Amino acid sequence: MVEGTTEVTYVYKEVKGDVIVHYIDTEGNVIADDAVDTSETSTGTAYDTSDDHKPQTITKDGVTYELVPVLTKGNEQGKVVEGTTEVTYVYKKVEAPSTPEDPGMPPEETPNKYIPYIPEDPENPKYDENVLPVDPNTGEPLEPIDYDDTPEDPSDNPPLPDIDGHIPVDPEDPTTPLKPKDPNDPTKGYEPPKPVDPKEDTPVPYVPAGMVTVHYVDKDGNVIKDPTVDTPKSPVGTEYNTNENGEEIPKEITKNGKVYEYVKVKDGDKEKGKVVKGNTDVTYIYKLKKQPEDPGMPPEETPNKYIPYIPEDPENPKYDENVPPVDPNTGEPLEPIDYDDTPEDPSDNPPLPDIDGHIPVDPEDPTKPLKPKDPNDPTKGYEPPKPVDPKEDTPVPYVPAGMVTVHYVDEDGNVIKDPTVDTPKSPVGTEYNTNENGEEIPKEITKDGKVYEYVKVKDGDKETGKVVKGNTDVTYIYKLKKQPEDPGMPPEETPNKYIPYIPEDPENPKYDENVPPVDPNTGEPLEPIDYDDTPEDPSDNPPLPDIDGHIPVDPEDPTKPLKPKDPNDPTKGYEPPKPVDPKEDTPVPYVPAGMVTVHYVDEDGNVIKDPTVDTPKSPVGTEYNTNENGEEIPKEITKDGKVYEYVKVKDGDKETGKVVKGNTDVTYIYKLKEQPGQPGVPGTPGTPEDPSTPPVDPKDEDPNVPPMDPKDEDPNVPPMDPKDEDPNVPPMDPKDKDPNVPPMDPKDEDSNTPPMDPGMPSQPSPDQSNNMEKPSKGLTDKDGKDMKPSDKMTEKELPETGNTNNPFVTTFGFLTLLAGMKLTKRNRREED
């Protein structure tokens, strides 16, 4: 530890941000260059993009676009925050008038609109024209609704949309919900309100809503009356009462000639309350009413039933009469099926229901599925089994099931034959084979006069296997069969084509028509692409395919890659070049390509920012720089409230270079930004090590100085850890040794000099503990426990405390004193 005060200075830089404006059409295409509304400046600075970066119209490539204010993305006004704030203006194409306008006629007015929106505060709805209204369920924009020709009479206006979980309310009185066009079906939309001013748009707030439905069941959960809607879709908080005055709920219900009497409300359901978002169910339970017996009449016999149920163990199904059967897909009770008058002949019994994902099996032999009434349509139900005892109920187990469907497509995925069912609905585990004996699948298929020949099974599909729950698809792929030409007929003219190919020499591509082009990744042929009717205008031609690891280039200038149809998704294909001669094929070379992706991680490799594409798919050899002008990579990144500061590029990664085939990853490493500590608080940085202090090289030790005998070490003095050396004390240079002092010989030690008592070390400083196994007084760890030397930590000077105690400095002094005493003894012996 050095004497005096060590100063540590922390340097900060101002956090800044900027504001960028984008311009796109309604399909997401960029129609103008980005504009910098506010260049990098201090956070908190006010900005307003609508001042001078919000044109009402934009013209690109001769097409005029007009602003659609309700589709604006981001906040037009606000204050600059850290990083980049983005505002996107959306424009729609201005349709040219079908007939030229009469200069003497006023311009046609476009109707104003109802604007559905979801307010932030439903109790005090306010429309913010800078926020694009979206459906909270789908995230899709909410389209405005045009007024009709008589907006002052809204009864015949187009309906406002029905939004799940919400209801429109009167903009002038948000406590009044609007009425549905059809009270029995709100999904048909709502009657719009009367506009305050027909020449202005009318924002219509939608507030959270719910409804209350009443159910009627017997004690077994069987429905005995259709559900009724007590409270139709209404704003959340609307009061309801399903049994007004105790007269709304029937005391008795008759179904199938049986009378049921009211018992109670289902436990947990509430007859009265307030509407919540979604649906509230209130269920009333009834029991079969006992009928007085007629002494002269025998008791009426009720038919026994088939009881569909889902067993816990499909391989060993057992019916538990204490567990009400339910449909596993809906959670609704499974209704039993009455026997008819001749249960011993089940062929004319009512069918058992079809349950999605399951099939009924014979209760006596669960390996045998029951037959559907209509083999072509199992949804019509299944033939019930013959009861073992017609006087007893017959539980019928349903086990998991699936089916196998075969599809037939061409190489582009177009269907060339209707799908067929290879294996109808069958229990899981049933074996299937879609091509029995190799003869089940046709070798050729004819569609629209064209003949297709079999190529292969779609990758990943399996011709043989076992049925799994749900549907298994097996797809067979065919290609167009080449037909022999008729010598007596003139050859049919086919359109010329773009021919994608992989040249042997990418720098000097040449097409060899004798070598069929193949995809280098799959080995499959590369299909040519037909010109359309206007090959001289390639912008609307079918796209050239995307080939993994390659990119198409201009045949006339192979240094120019072709543009992808969708810059954000090159897999959608590339815009073909303009043919030199539309009457000739145009070979298009594909050269090796790659891209450069930038990653942002902390020192442990955790991602702290989504990867970005620095260089999209480009020809091999294209130069890249992931940090143009040193400003492209952020100096700081904030994630989950933590700020990370840039450290370095990952070892081995290169910020600049040339694109290679495939993907090049460049990873930037960040560390958690340290917050300045408080004086006296553990964790405050101490004196930094001086990197200019060189370590002692073992080669520089004096061979004339014998090493210290471990037997001479004081057992009460812990060995000095090299990590604890004071970086401010330079190591001893062997050149500084006094040549007049010979090395000490252990044999010269004075036997009359008593050895130093190992238990009596030199007097420690007042602040130093006598026990070297403990640290200096007052040095504790973060939990307040005494620290030992094994903690690999010494007490360094904390800011403004002035505490410079170090037990290892004392130890070093003690060892130096011991060596000096031995040297003195030897000198005295030589003098004698």
SS3 content of the chain, % helix, strand, coil (to 5): 10, 35, 55
522-559 pLDDT, tens digit per residue, is 989 999 999 887 887 777 788 999 999 999 999 999 99
Q: What is the CATH number of the domain that holds 609?
A: 3.10.20
367-387 pLDDT, tens digit per residue, is 999 999 888 888 899 999 988
Residue type, 488: G
Continuous segment of H or E residues that includes residue 555: none
User: Given pLDDT bands bounded at 50, 70 and 90, which one contains residue 275?
Assistant: very high
Same domain, 202 and 233: no
The reported pLDDT for the residue numbered 265 is 92
Detail the DSSP E strand segments found in 387-517.
Answer: 394-410, 415-427, 431-433, 444-447, 450-457, 464-466, 470-480, 497-501
Instruction: Identify which has the larger pLDDT, 592 or 495.
Output: 592
Number of independent structural domains in the chain: 5
Average pLDDT over residues 206-225: 94
Same domain, 143 and 215: no
The reported pLDDT for the residue numbered 741 is 47
Per-residue CA distances from 404 to 261, 329, 433, 436, 661 (Å): 49, 21, 9, 14, 41
User: Given pLDDT bands bounded at 50, 70 and 90, which one contains residue 62?
Assistant: confident
The answer to whether residue 107 is domain-embedded is yes
Same domain, 720 and 796: yes
**Domain containing 738: what range?**
702-832
Detail the DSSP E strand segments found in 94-186.
Answer: 113-117, 145-146, 166-170, 173-177
The answer to whether residue 800 scores a pLDDT higher than 50 is no
Spell out the alpha helix ranges (H) of 68-141.
none
Which of 444, 459, 480 lies at the terminal end of a domain, its last residue? 480
The reported pLDDT for the residue numbered 449 is 84
Tokens standing for residue 628: 């143009």
321-367 pLDDT, tens digit per residue, is 878 899 999 889 999 998 887 777 777 778 999 999 999 999 999 99
Q: Return d(Cα 832, Cα 823) in angstroms, integer.
A: 15
3-state secondary structure of 463: coil
Q: What is the CATH number of the domain that holds 23?
A: 3.10.20.320
Same domain, 125 and 258: no
480-519 pLDDT, tens digit per residue, is 998 766 556 555 556 789 999 999 999 999 999 888 899 9
Would you put residue 174 in left (φ > 0), alpha (ψ -120 to 50) or beta? alpha
105-145 pLDDT, tens digit per residue, is 555 556 789 999 999 999 999 999 888 899 998 888 999 99
Q: Return d(Cα 822, Cα 825) in angstroms, integer.
A: 5
Per-residue CA distances from 689 to 225, 353, 529, 684, 698 (Å): 85, 81, 68, 15, 21
Per-residue CA distances from 517 to 504, 514, 618 (Å): 11, 9, 21
The answer to whether residue 563 is domain-embedded is no
Same domain, 168 and 226: no
Same domain, 91 and 224: no
The reported pLDDT for the residue numbered 813 is 56
Which of 424, 456, 480 lies at the terminal end of a domain, its last residue? 480
Provide the terminal-to-terminal Cα distance of the chain, rounded to the nearest Å: 41
pTM, two decimal places: 0.30
User: Given pLDDT bands bounded at 50, 70 and 90, which one contains residue 753?
Assistant: very low
Burial state string for 106-128 with b = 16 or more CB within 10 A and e = fewer than 16? eeeeeebbbbbbbbeebeebebe
- The values of phi and psi at residue 347, to 5°, are -60, -30
For 668, what's the count of Cα atoms within 13 Å in the CB-facing half-sphere? 25
The answer to whether residue 78 scores a pLDDT higher than 90 is yes
The answer to whether residue 573 is domain-embedded is no
Nearest to 552 by CA among 499, 614, 621, 623: 499
Nearest to 81 by CA among 13, 6, 134, 19: 19
The answer to whether residue 795 scores a pLDDT higher than 50 is no
706-731 pLDDT, tens digit per residue, is 555 545 555 454 555 545 455 454 55
Same domain, 635 and 714: no
In this structure, what DSSP letter does residue 827 have?
A: H
Contact 196, 187 (CB under 8 A): no
Q: Return d(Cα 591, Cα 557) in angstroms, integer.
A: 12
Residue type, 60: K
User: Given pLDDT bands bounded at 50, 70 and 90, which one contains residue 1?
Assistant: low
Contact 135, 142 (CB under 8 A): yes
The answer to whether residue 69 scores a pLDDT higher than 50 is yes
The answer to whether residue 170 is domain-embedded is yes
229-253 pLDDT, tens digit per residue, is 999 999 999 999 999 887 789 999 9
Same domain, 731 and 644: no
The answer to whether residue 754 scores a pLDDT higher than 50 is no
- The number of beta carbons lying within 10 Å of the beta carbon of residue 459 is 8
The answer to whether residue 28 is domain-embedded is yes
Detail the DSSP E strand segments found in 43-191.
Answer: 46-48, 57-60, 63-67, 77-79, 83-93, 113-117, 145-146, 166-170, 173-177
The reported pLDDT for the residue numbered 19 is 95
Contacts of 783 (CB under 8 A, 6+ apart): none
Contact 514, 504 (CB under 8 A): no
3-state secondary structure of 361: strand
Same domain, 793 and 830: yes
Question: What is the full DSSP assignment across 794-822?
Answer: --PPPTTT-----HHHHHHHHHHHHHHHH
Contact 395, 309 (CB under 8 A): yes
Same domain, 203 and 218: no
Q: Return d(Cα 598, Cα 614) in angstroms, integer.
A: 6
Long-range CB pairs of 764-773 (<8 Å, 24+ gap) are 764/810, 765/805, 765/810, 767/805, 768/805, 768/807, 768/810, 769/807, 772/716, 772/717, 772/718, 772/807, 772/811, 773/718
Same domain, 708 and 784: yes
Q: Return d(Cα 265, Cα 243) in angstroms, integer.
A: 11
Q: Return d(Cα 427, Cα 382) in angstroms, integer.
A: 14
The answer to whether residue 315 is domain-embedded is no
Q: Return d(Cα 753, Cα 750) in angstroms, integer.
A: 5
% residues pLDDT > 90 (the chain): 53
Continuous segment of H or E residues that includes residue 825: helix 807-831
In this structure, what DSSP letter does residue 715 have?
A: T
Q: Return d(Cα 562, Cα 578) in angstroms, integer.
A: 11
Question: Which residues on adjacent β-strands are paired with residue 554?
Answer: 557
User: Given pLDDT bands bounded at 50, 70 and 90, which one contains residue 814?
Assistant: low
The answer to whether residue 340 is domain-embedded is no
Q: Return d(Cα 53, Cα 37) in angstroms, integer.
A: 7
The answer to whether residue 811 scores a pLDDT higher than 80 is no
Angle CA 105–107–113, to nearest 5: 140
User: Given pLDDT bands bounded at 50, 70 and 90, which one contains residue 757?
Assistant: very low
277-319 pLDDT, tens digit per residue, is 999 999 999 999 877 666 565 555 567 889 999 999 999 999 9
Which of 207, 228, 249 lies at the terminal end of a domain, its last residue? 207
Same domain, 157 and 276: no
Strands 450-457 and 470-480: antiparallel
385-434 pLDDT, tens digit per residue, is 988 888 888 999 999 999 999 999 999 999 999 899 999 999 999 999 99
Instruction: Identify which has the larger pLDDT, 831 or 185.
Output: 185
Burial category of 295 from C-beta neighbours within 10 Å (exposed 0-12, middle 13-18, buried 19 and up): exposed
The answer to whether residue 427 is domain-embedded is yes
